[in-house]
Amino acid sequence: MEQISLPDDTVEAFRAVSKEFDTVYTMFAKSCGLSETEFWSLLMIRSGVTTQAEISDQLFLSPQTVNSAFKQLVKKGLVRLEPLEHNQRTKQVIVTQAGEQFMERYIDRMLDMERQAWQLMEEQERVMLTQLTRKYCGLIRAALEPLTTE
């Protein structure tokens, strides 16, 4: 696919880079035989998140979308779901032995690639990237707010 050169100071250039960024993660998920939601769910589990509800909240995805992904992860033998002792409606994610091996092979590799790329950037660049992306998201979210309350 041919890249169109856009001036870096345009919203179109930022949008193109954002889509390219998303594509990197989509490609990695597909290379592991996972959907995007399955991939992000396993990444969240690797980061210590233990319930579907928490994953849904943190990924800003509907519970139905996350539940569908978990049905596939269970089917693939990577996780199992068990009700929490104090709340039978909430399911805790338990990683199977096969799931642990899968995460070591794929998820940990992606985390290592991210860390390596992050470390290749100057500290000031890392801080600026995080701060400016957070600011941009906040500004867009604020602009969207009237639309979500109508």
Quick one: pLDDT band at residue 1, thresholds 50, 70, 90?
very low
Question: How confident is the model over 1-17, as a mean pLDDT?
Answer: 79
Q: For 27-86, how does the pLDDT look when each residue is reduced to its tens digit (9 = 90+)? A: 999 999 999 999 999 999 999 998 999 999 999 999 999 999 999 999 999 999 998 888
Alpha-carbon gap, residue 138 to 134, rounded angstroms: 6
Q: pTM (2 decimals)? A: 0.83
Looking up tokens 């709340």 gives 87
Question: How confident is the model over 112-125, as a mean pLDDT?
Answer: 96
Alpha-carbon gap, residue 81 to 79, rounded angstroms: 7
> Could you tell me the end-to-end alpha-carbon distance of the chain, in angstroms, rounded to an integer?
39
29 alpha-carbon distance from chain centroid: 10
Number of H helices, E strands in the chain: 7, 2
Q: For 46-59, how does the pLDDT look when each residue is reduced to its tens digit (9 = 90+)? A: 999 989 999 999 99
**Dihedral, CA of residue 123, residue 124, residue 126 and residue 132, to nearest 10:** 170
**Token pair of 7, please?**
């001036």
Instruction: Confirm if 129 and 117 have CB atoms less than 8 A apart.
Output: no
Looking up tokens 């509907």 gives 62
